[in-house]
Amino acid sequence: MEDDRPQQGFFRSRTGLALIAFLLIGGFFLWTEHRAHVAVALPYWPYLLVLLCPLMHLFHHGHGGHGGGGHSDHERKGKDR
């Protein structure tokens, strides 16, 4: 049986309109709260960036290390034999 009514898209249905309203309200509150926290932290950004450097050196392990040429220790030990 065919339906003679024109098909409506999802965003024109009640569920779609409710979703759009929810996202707009949530986005507004997220934006206002985010702006408030960034404005408070703004004077501390240079210090946070300087603190980030040693933390990256402590926690970043990978890509071959110093002078490794991209090979892991296991691969180098196999070549030495």
Give one DSSP letter per residue of 10-63, joined into a string.
GGGSHHHHHHHHHHHHHHHHHHHHHHHHHHHHGGGHHHHHHHHHHHHHHH---T
Most confident of 8-12, 36-40, 50-54, 71-75: 50-54
**How many structural domains comprise the chain?**
1
Structure token digits, residue 20? 């759009």
Residue 70 lies in a domain: no
Whether the model clears a pTM of 0.75, i.e. scores above it, the answer is no
- Residue range 31-54: average pLDDT? 85
State the number of CA atoms in the 13 A half-sphere of 25 facing the CB: 6
Residue 27 lies in a domain: yes
Residue 71 lies in a domain: no
Dist. CA 66–CA 68, nearest whole Å: 6
Residue 50 lies in a domain: yes
Which residue range forms the structural domain that includes residue 37? Answer: 10-61
